[in-house]
Amino acid sequence: MRARVGLNLAYVSRAEQAGGWDDVLGIATFNGTPEVAAGAAGIPVAQVHTPVLPGDTHLYEVWSSEQPAESGRRGRVSYRSTPEMLFGCVALAERDFVPSESADAGRHPSALHLATEYAYQEICATLEAQGYPHLLRVWNYLPDINRDSGGTERYRQFNTARQHALHTWGRAVAGSVPAASALGATSESPLVVYFLAGRIAPLFVENPRQVSAYHYPREYGTHSPVFSRAALLRQATSLTLFISGTASIVGHRSLHLGDTAAQTRETLTNIEALVEEANRRASDAHFDLATLAYKVYVRRPADLPVIQAQLASAIGARTQIIYLQADICRQDLLVEIEATGICRLAAVA
């Protein structure tokens, strides 16, 4: 029978983190979580500066591969890889990127633009050097995501810089682009990007209820966001569904302004539509809302009980869910949800 080589995701507390590290690809930490155990030396750790809700629980997001992995570093990117997959992360402080004196007048790139472009250049160079051409899933965390700087919202600056870097490396900015999220982080924290890449191209999935993000009209910025609504990766014994950060958007418009409960319900409807589309596109897939793992971003901590109640009603209480406080890419959105599903396939003799 074939060896198991599928991807795994677990959200665990510091107390639960134990066992061997041979097959761990990478880790994300939140809320200033202390360093991981000494046995994890060499494993890339993305230190995300977003508080965990409720309280100060120290959580680890652990990606593993069911195969021994090897660690490496190229430039500013720390990575760990198996023959099929690579997990990488990069963190850059904006203070290390000095914009031109006229940046505030909008004539030259800002520090965020320079840091973002550099991060994506480093990521592309690492993937080319290591031979993992396909970006599968990317997480982006940038401080003060909604703040205006030099007359342009920082999230829009980020989108412009990401496109510039991808163009430079001849990579797609529409269609065959990874699932992704972009969220706010605490002020003065670094730009943090972590990602999964592979040697096999995924199937990119769009939501029939939404305009593809890379086709957004110019009212959302001169450069559209570069992500697919979801990506579906097939491996020998599993299918993995990466659902991008999803919110209360139908077509390209935000809905239910000011109504947290309604935004949460609409977001879950969008996720359900993506699950149905993935199951349609892959005939042997059987994803459903109850078996996904969720990461929920909450703009206003006081809204947490409302959001939790909506999720409990829709998907029950047995699902893996973590809640983080973070600003969302549009100021009128109060909640954003991303999800990951892993569907095991029948073994082949």
Whether the pLDDT of residue 50 is over 60: the answer is yes
User: Identity (one letter) of the amino acid at 173?
Assistant: V
What's the pLDDT score for residue 316? 86
Distance CA 245, CA 337 (A): 5
Tens of pLDDT, residues 52-96: 998 656 788 999 998 889 999 999 999 999 999 999 999 999 999
First to last CA, the chain: 5
Nearest to 297 by CA among 270, 271, 324: 324
Looking only at the bridges linking them, the beta strands covering 335-344 and 249-250 are: unpaired
Distance CA 310, CA 207 (A): 21
What's the pLDDT score for residue 102? 52
**Residues annotated as part of the active site:** 336
Please check whether residue 224 is in contact with residue 159, taking contact to mean a CB–CB distance below 8 angstroms. Answer: yes
What's the pLDDT score for residue 21? 78
Domain map (residue ranges) of the chain: 8-344
Residue 17's pLDDT band (boundaries 50, 70, 90)?
A: low
Nearest to 186 by CA among 49, 8, 312: 49
Tell me the pTM: 0.95
Place of tokens 């992995």: 69
What's the pLDDT score for residue 1? 29
Distance CA 275, CA 288 (A): 6
Q: Which CATH class is domain 8-344?
A: alpha beta
Report the share of the chain in percent with pLDDT over 90: 82
Q: Which distant-in-sequence residues (6+ apart) come within 8 Å of 201 by Cβ?
A: 134, 176
Residue 183's pLDDT band (boundaries 50, 70, 90)?
A: very high
Between 58 and 101, name the one with better pLDDT: 58
What's the pLDDT score for residue 150? 87
Between 12 and 110, name the one with better pLDDT: 110
Q: Coil, strand, or helix at residue 251?
A: strand
Q: Coil, strand, or helix at residue 91?
A: strand
